[in-house]
Amino acid sequence: MYVVLVYDISQSENGQKRWSRVFKICKKYLSHIQNSVFEGEISKVQLVQLQQELKPYVDKDLDSVIIFKSRHERWLDKEFWGKEEDKTSFLI
Amino acid sequence: MYVVLVYDISQSENGQKRWSRVFKICKKYLSHIQNSVFEGEISKVQLVQLQQELKPYVDKDLDSVIIFKSRHERWLDKEFWGKEEDKTSFLI
């Protein structure tokens, strides 16, 4: 399936470190397209793995992670303005 | 159509002011669901209006705005973890 993952990690409670862990984990599975936004094709199994890896670093009272899931990428048109992030997906 | 809009506004070049203008404009048309993420049903005409309003505040060299568009909301499943943003959509 095709997913868009957006996260917001609070600066408090060691937030900078959590942000960077979340970033690195997402980057293992998805492409980085904006500051805290990732996208890409991912299997159900991989998505569960991703969620398991993220869990320890996402504080449910402070942070939020939203995952939009679509069965096909073609169901989602994407419009992009402005500067593009690096495209080094699947690398850390 | 159903859209998810994510933006990243640089802190430089009067960034805080631009961020807050972008936020207010998005909030006129869509629901705020995360720090810099909005979603909602919007017509093509409204989306063009939204883009016209945003244009003066988005610096193409510094900022980015990504709009994911789906013809039907049901084509997109949404999974949410953590704290929820206010739901005062369509209000400023």
Q: With contact defined as beta carbons under 8 Å apart, do B65 and B5 qualify?
A: yes
Q: How many CB atoms lie within 10 A of CB A41?
A: 13
Confidence of residue A88 (pLDDT cuts 50, 70, 90): very low
Confidence of residue A12 (pLDDT cuts 50, 70, 90): confident
Confidence of residue A66 (pLDDT cuts 50, 70, 90): very high
- Looking at residue B89, its pLDDT comes to 38
Query: pLDDT for B6-35, tens place per residue?
Result: 999 988 878 889 999 999 999 999 999 998
Averaged pLDDT of chain A: 87
Concatenated DSSP letters of B2-62: EEEEEEE--STTTHHHHHHHHHHHHHHHSEEEETTEEEEE--HHHHHHHHHHHGGG--TTT
- Looking at residue B63, its pLDDT comes to 92
Helix (H) or strand (E) holding B75: none
User: Are A68 and B75 a contacting pair at CB < 8 A?
Assistant: no
User: Are A76 and B70 a contacting pair at CB < 8 A?
Assistant: yes
Above 50 in pLDDT, residue A84? yes
Confidence of residue A85 (pLDDT cuts 50, 70, 90): low
| B contact set with A (CB within 8 A) | 4, 6-8, 33-37, 58-71, 75-85
Query: Domains along chain B?
Result: 2-74 (3.30.70.240)
Smallest CA-to-CA distance from B76 within B3, B18, B14 is with B3
- Looking at residue B30, its pLDDT comes to 97
| pTM of the complete model | 0.85
